[in-house]
Amino acid sequence: MTCANWAAALLLAAACSPAVPVLAPIVDVPDASSPAYPFTDIDELRLSIAHAGQDADIALVSVAPGDTPELASVPFGDDLVVHLSGRRAGVEVAYGRTCAVSVNRDTNVASVHLYFARIVKWAAGPQPSEPRAVGRDAYATPAGDGVFVGGAADGDLTDMERFDARAGAFVALPGRVAARRGAALAPLRDGRALRIGGVAGPPGADVAVASCELLSPTAAAELQVQTIADDCLHLVDAAAATLVDGGVVVAGGRRDQGAGFQPSGATWLFRLGDAGIPAPPRLLPTAALAHPRYGHTATRLGDEVGAAVLIVGGRDAVGPVAAAELYEPLRESYAAFAPQLLTPRYDHRAVLLPDGSILIVGGRDSANRPTASLEVYLPRIGQFAAVGTLPAGAGLVGFTATALPDGRVLLAGGRDAGNQPVATAYILRLDPIDGTVDISPTDGLAVPRAGHSAVPLCDGTVLIVGGTVAPGAPGSERYNPPSAGRR
C-alpha cells in the first residue's frame, strides 16, 4: 500500500472517530454589585465532578480566577454532580453545584445551570410571574424543582409556575387552578400534588371551595390540573401529610356546618387508585382528633413504612390547643398520646430535623400574640422540650422555615412581635449535646417579606418568592448555604 493510501486511511479513521461529548454547565452568578457576587477576593477556583452524595471526587482541577477550569476524560455515569468552589487562602468562600445529571456515550448531553455565589448570602433570583404574591402554595418536586400555585395579589391567583433548577428559570405553566386561600397542599412522591379545601371570595365573605385538585406540573397542558371530586372536603386551614406509602392524610380544619366555620376533628385519607389518580377521600371512621383544631401542623416523623404523623398546635373554638396527637397510618387511627406543647400556639411552623425530632417555631399564643419560643418534640423520649427563644427582630408568624442539606433550618422573613414584615434571616441548629437550639443570624433578605413561599432546590439552595409589595423589590431571592451536606 502506498504512502498516500496510508495517509488517506488514517484521515478517514480520524474523521470517523466519534467526538468526545462535552458537558458545559452554564454558570449563573449574582450581579457584580451584589454582596453575593462570588469572584470578589478569591485566589483559587476549583472545579470537580462526583457522584451525587459521594465525598470522593471523580476528577478535580484547580485554576486561578480568570482562567477556564476544565476536566478531561471523565467516565460516563449517572447521578453526576459538577461542583465549583471559590477559595481565598484555602478557605471556601463561594460555592455552587449543578443538580444531578446523567452523561452517557449515546445520549445528547443536556446543558445544565450551576448557581455560583458567595456562601451564606442571599441574591436576587429570576423574576416569577407574580412577584408580589402572598400565600402562594409551594412545594419541591423529587427532581428538585419548585412549584408555586395560586395565592393572592390584588385578588386571588389561579396560575401555576415551576422553577426549573437545571435551567435556572421560571416556567409559566398553562394549567389553571381554582382560587382558594387556606388550602392544604400535599406533595406526592412522583412530583404531583393534592390541593384540598380552602375558601375563596372577598375577605369577610369566605365561601368554602368544594373541589380537590391534582396538580401535575410536567403533564400535558390539559392534564396539569385535574379535579378529583367536585364535592370534596369543605375544609379550611386543615393540615395534610403525605404518608410513606403515597397516601395523604388530612386532619382537622374548619368546616361550615351551617353556623359558620367550626373546628373539625375529622380525619380523611386519600389513596392513589388505578392509573395513579387519587380516589375521592375516605373519612376514617375510627380516627378523629381528640381535640378538633385548625391552623395546626401535621409532620411525618420519618421515612420508614408506617411512619407516624404528629399533629401539633392549632386552635379550637376557645383558643390554642396544647395537646399533640399522633396518627398511626398502619392502624389508620390515633395512638394514646400524652405529650403537650409547653406553649400552646397556632400558625406556627414545624420542621423535621435529621435526628427525627421536630422543631416547633413561632406562631401565636393564647393571647393571640406572636410568640418567640422554640420547642422540640423528641420522639425517643416522647416529650416536648423548650430549646430557646428567637431574638428580637425575627419573624414570628408568616415566615418560612426550610431544612438545609446539612440539617440546619433557615428561617426567613415573616412578621415580628409588632406585626411588621422583617428582612431578617436566621440559621437554627439543634445541639444534641446539651439539647439547646443554636440561633445564628445570617445574611438578611433584600426587602422585608411576609407570607412568601420557600422551596429547597436540588442544588441545595433555597428559593423564596413573593411576600412583598415594595416597588423595585426582586420577585425572588436565592440563599446559598455552605457546601457542607450539599454533595
Partner 1 sequence: MHHAARAIGLILAASVGRAEPPPLIVFHSAADPPSEVTAARAAVASAARDAGAAFVDVTPAPAPPPAAATLLARAVESYDALRYNEALETLDGALAEAARSGAAGLSPAELSDLHLYRGLVVLQRGDANRAWDDLVRSALVDPARILDPLRFPPKATAAFQRAAREVRAQPRGTLVVATAPGCRAFVDAREVAGLPPELPLGVHYVRAACPGAEAGAAVLLGGSRLEVPLAPAPPAPPSDESAAALARARGARTVLVVAVTRSGGAPPTVWLRLRDVASGRALADASVALDPGGSAAADARAATIRLVDRATGAVKLDLSPPPRPWYEKPWVWGVAAAAVTAAILLPFAITAGSPTGFRVAPQVPPVPR
Binding footprint of partner 1 on the chain (CB under 8 A): 13, 16-27, 29, 32, 39, 45, 47, 49, 59, 65-66, 68-76, 82, 84, 103, 105, 109, 114, 354-355, 380-381, 407, 431-435
Complex with partner 1: residue 80 or 289, whichever CB lies closer: 80
In single-letter form, the type of residue at position 54 comes to Q
Say if residues 151 and 137 touch (Cβ distance below 8 Å). yes
Complex with partner 1: residue 72 or 318, whichever CB lies closer: 72
Closest distance between partner 1 and the C-beta of residue 398, in Å? 30
Closest distance between partner 1 and the C-beta of residue 99, in Å? 14
Smallest CA-to-CA distance from 251 within 191, 306, 312 is with: 312
Complex with partner 1: residue 81 or 215, whichever CB lies closer: 81
d(Cα 198, Cα 421) in Å, to the nearest integer?
24
Closest distance between partner 1 and the C-beta of residue 382, in Å? 8
Say if residues 212 and 234 touch (Cβ distance below 8 Å). no
Complex with partner 1: residue 98 or 264, whichever CB lies closer: 98
Residues 6+ apart with CB under 8 A from 77: 51, 58, 102, 103, 104
What is the chain's alpha carbon radius of gyration, rounded to the nearest angstrom?
25
Say if residues 328 and 336 touch (Cβ distance below 8 Å). no
In single-letter form, the type of residue at position 347 comes to D
Closest distance between partner 1 and the C-beta of residue 487, in Å? 16
Exposed/middle/buried for 94, CB within 10 Å: 0-12, 13-18, 19+? buried
Complex with partner 1: residue 9 or 26, whichever CB lies closer: 26
The C-alpha angle 113, 479, 476, rounded to 5 degrees, equals: 80
Complex with partner 1: residue 105 or 154, whichever CB lies closer: 105
Closest distance between partner 1 and the C-beta of residue 21, in Å? 4
Closest distance between partner 1 and the C-beta of residue 381, in Å? 5
d(Cα 108, Cα 178) in Å, to the nearest integer?
39
Complex with partner 1: residue 83 or 452, whichever CB lies closer: 83
Closest distance between partner 1 and the C-beta of residue 34, in Å? 13
Say if residues 62 and 84 touch (Cβ distance below 8 Å). no
